[in-house]
Structure 1
Amino acid sequence: MKEIKAIISAYDKIDKAKTGAALATVVRVEGSSYRRTGARMLVTDDGVWVGGISGGCLEGDALKRARLAIAKSESSLITYDTTEDDAYQIGVGLGCNGIIDVLFTPLQYQDKNNPVEVLKTCVAANRQTNILVTITNLEGFWPNVRTGNVIRYKTVQSLAVFADAAIEQQLEEHINAQIESGKSRHVGIRKAGGEKLAVFIEILLPEIRLVLMGHQYDIYPLARLTKEVGWQVTMVSNPLKINTRLVDTVDAIFSYDQLSDIRIDQYTAIVLMAHDYKTDKANLPKVLQTAAFYIGMLGPRVRSEKIFNELATEGQSISGEYMARIYAPAGLDIGALSPEEIALSIIAEIKTVFSKRGGTFLKFRHSPIHERS
């Protein structure tokens, strides 16, 4: 979401009377690549770009392709194949060993359904999962749609633009499958008459929100790193103890008695870091009643176990289901010493939990880093 917001910000600053622009989107990856599907790059015809579709190796050619799409006012799908030993193939010799399809779409500023305008509606729909259907290729007669069109799917009625009940039904089935998996996918559909349609079904999940409950100095590096990663940061603390320097770093600040006012959903992580035993103990049962997928506690294991035991004695035993969401001590074992290193270990653990991964060394992983299509 951070990249999307940067693209929207750059798009809004374009002098639209003088400058053309196109959006490059990775819509299919086969094998290995630095960026995955959904990676985007905004390109203007004066050679400026924001975002990226690779580690920098394809951007040069992508700039030319985007400017050509702007000049022709026509979307195009380009395949970069780094698996072939072809000296004339862009990306050869990179060692990525993958095939990447990139859709280049010229942006018509007057069209409120152009890809960036659609992304704006997704960002405005705070904390919602958005489903985008991007048309990447058409073969045959398709009177109502064009390559590059982006549809923000809400119900099957969103697909009425295809004016074909069979196509709508097939797309609906594919979309439901991707919603269930929580993953994006490129799919192809064929009409009875032979016409072909290819679309990129993208599942845009809400950005992770990190709720930091405390006010001590170690909250600063954790808040800064969280923003650098592109997540939202909310601080919960005693208003009288909040340093004004945090105002420019966090997205929102609440007092402890306003905890129920925060929208804590399944994409929210919470870290108890008050450095006050009684405060963390009082807050733990409250945050366990929320939908947060991760609850971290700073401090040694003996401290958290003491809190668990005291709560049990007081009739507030924490069941296995609730305990599974608690990470105490918070963070991965990276040998962190300083507040900055501790922040790194906590961010890494939250990402590990959210991605349902193990957090182990990649050199010991025998399967591909990312799922292959």
Structure 2
Amino acid sequence: MMEIYEGLKHCLENKQRAVLATIIEVDGSTYRREGASCFITEDGKVLGTVSAGCVEGDLFEHARDVLESGRARTQHYDFRSEEDLLWGMGVGCNGAMKILLQPFDPVRYPAYTNHVFQMYEKKVFCRKEFIVGIVIDTADPSTHQIGTPYIFEQDERSTPRIRNGSRGLVHWELKGVQVTLYVETVQPRPMLVVYGAGPDAIPLVQGASRLGWHVTLIDHREHALCHQAFASADRLQLISREDYGNLYVDENAYVVVMTHNYLLDAKVVKRMIDSTIPYLGVLGPRKRIERILQEIHTEQKRPIVVDFAKLHAPIGLDIGADSPEEIALSILAELTSCRNRRGGQSLRLRNEPLHERHEFVSEKVLAQR
């Protein structure tokens, strides 16, 4: 998402044309799901993906038409036929998808382009959940242009919602006009707080940033925090050694402790062990965390109840990681599996569909906005 945002920002500042492509409907099994986007510049550069490379080339041709006409449109792809020659020798996705193409032209359509950019910027940097609807079809194009985004209040009566899901198509009445909206409940970026700006934190911070996490890096060493390799972190926080055990962390944050200093690690764990954060991962051997937990038990003079759904120590999935890059990969995989409430097992052992399936039910509400 951040990559596409940077592309939108670059084109806006440099008055360059492009097209934003977003999957708005999926039927069956596809590589990406609803909400996935890519950004296609006029010279053919593609940021982000909506497929495994099956449709991006064809989308570029349709993007040209969108740029010339200045009108948003939808494009449908169906991969369910094994003899589909258009997509070349068996894509094999067994699914179909509909993609919305929105023009991004700062010169010819500055108002619309700014509206699209501001909406995407809000999606990237929001700190609270909100609902956005994009017009896909309309009974009156002069009133509600296809591709126009709207932010809705968090009000049950006047907000279009998807039953059993967070995104999909909805029939709606918008200011007296019947429209079809692509509706998405936008969540804030997941927050990752990393204690310790050592060399092995570099691939973790960089990888988490690429995966769309809001990353805060904390350390007491200013020279370590200022390393150019941590430029992708959203926030660098310099603290004193004493603050490791006192710092407030948002209750929704995922916390990774990797200071390589037992006393500092212990301060953080003692501070976080009873907090409501969903994830606390500690780098190091099992005996290390057992020693910290024993210290907590001794200091508090009471039995300590450890939430092992939250505490991950040793941290990461068991992939035989050895190098800093592999260790970061194992940690990121565990963070992702915990956030998505998956077990992290091999997909060949999964009997259910790879992606959670929701039946998108269209709703028609007569209340006007």
Distance in structure 2 (CA, Å) of the matches to 1:358 and 1:189? 38
Residues 82 and 91 of structure 1 are in contact (CA less than 8 Å); yes or no, is this contact kept in structure 2? no
- Return closer, same or farther for 1:234/1:318 CA change in 2, 3 Å cut-off: farther
Change over 3 Å in CA distance of 1:74–1:224 after alignment to 2: closer
Query: What is aligned with 2:10?
Result: 10
Is 1:114 aligned with 2:115? yes
Q: 200, 213, 238: which one pairs with 1:254?
A: 238
Q: CA deviation at 1:221?
A: 2.7
**Separation of aligned partners in 2, 1:238 and 1:331:** 25
% identity of equivalent residues: 30
- Larger RCO (alpha carbons 8 Å, 6+ apart): 2
Moved more, 276-285 or 359-368: 276-285
- Calculate the TM-score normalised by the size of structure 1: 0.82
Query: Could you tell me which of 22, 32, 35 is aligned with 2:19?
Result: 22
Secondary structure in 1 aligned to 2:209?
helix
- Tell me the amino acid that sits aligned with residue 239 of structure 2: S
Q: Secondary structure at the match of 1:235?
A: strand
Q: Which residue of 2 aligns with 1:162?
A: none
Instruction: Work out which of the residue numbers 92, 99, 109 in structure 2 matches 1:102.
Output: 99
Q: Deviations over 1:113-155 (max 9, x none)?
A: 6322311233343x322321112223x3466312211112234
In the alignment, is the contact (CA less than 8 A) between 2:125 and 2:189 conserved in 1?
Answer: no
Q: How does 1:349-368 map to 2 (within 5 A)?
A: 349-368=334-353
CA offset at residue 262 of structure 1? Answer: 6.0
> 1:149 maps to what in 2?
148
- Pairs within 5 Å for 1:1-373: 1-14=1-14, 16=15, 19-85=16-82, 87=84, 89-90=86-87, 93-107=90-104, 108-111=109-112, 114-125=115-126, 127-138=127-138, 140-141=139-140, 144-156=143-155, 169=157, 172=159, 174=161, 177=163, 183-189=166-172, 197-239=179-221, 242=224, 244-245=226-227, 246-251=229-234, 252-256=236-240, 264-266=250-252, 268-288=253-273, 290-315=275-300, 320=305, 322-373=307-358
1:159 match: none
* 8 Å CA contact retained: 1:7, 1:51: no
- When structure 1 is superposed on structure 2, of 207-216 and 72-81 the one drifting more is 207-216
Tell me the alpha carbon deviations over residues 15-52 of structure 1, each in whole angstroms, 9 at most, x when there is no partner: x2xx4332211111111111221122223334333222
- Equivalent residues of 2:17, 2:42 under 8 A apart: yes
| Aligned-residue RMSD, C-alpha | 3.0
The residue type paired with residue 84 of structure 1 is S
Distance 1:212 1:222, change over 3 A: same
Contact 1:81–1:89, Cα closer than 8 Å, also in 2: no
8 Å CA contact 1:129–1:205 kept in 2: the answer is yes
Q: Please give the alpha-carbon distance, in whole angstroms, between the structure 2 residues aligned to 1:318 and 1:297.
A: 21
| Matches of 1:320 and 1:285, distance apart in 2 | 13
Q: CA 1:316–1:340 in 2, change beyond 3 Å: closer, same or farther?
A: farther
Change (3 A) 1:207 1:310: same
Cα distance between partner residues in 2 of 1:11 and 1:124: 19
Partners in 2 of 1:8 and 1:201 — Cα distance? 21
Q: Distance in 2 between matches of 1:215 and 1:87?
A: 51
Take 2:12 and 2:304, find their aligned partners in 1: how far apart are those partners?
49
Letter in 2 for 1:136: I
Amino acid at match of 1:370: H
Letter in 2 for 1:117: Q
Hey, which of these two has a bigger chunk of helix by percent?
1
Shift in Å at residue 358 of structure 1?
0.8
Structure 2 gap segments, 5+ residues each: 359-369
User: Structure 1: any 5+ residue segments left out of the alignment?
Assistant: 157-167
TM-score, normalised with respect to structure 2 = 0.83
- Indicate the residue corresponding to 1:163 in structure 2: none
Structure 1 residue 329: deviation in Å? Answer: 0.9
Once residues 123 and 44 of structure 1 are traced to their aligned partners in structure 2, the CA distance between those partners, rounded to angstroms, is: 20
Secondary structure of the structure 2 residue equivalent to 1:201: strand
Equivalent pairs, count: 349
Q: How far, CA to CA, are the matches of 2:303 and 2:224 in structure 1?
A: 31
Deviation of the 1:217 alpha carbon:
3.1
> Offset at 1:291?
4.4
Report the CA distance between 1:78 and its aligned residue: 1.4
**Cα deviations across residues 71-120 of structure 1 (Å, max 9, x unaligned)?**
12222111101113564655772111111100112233223663223112
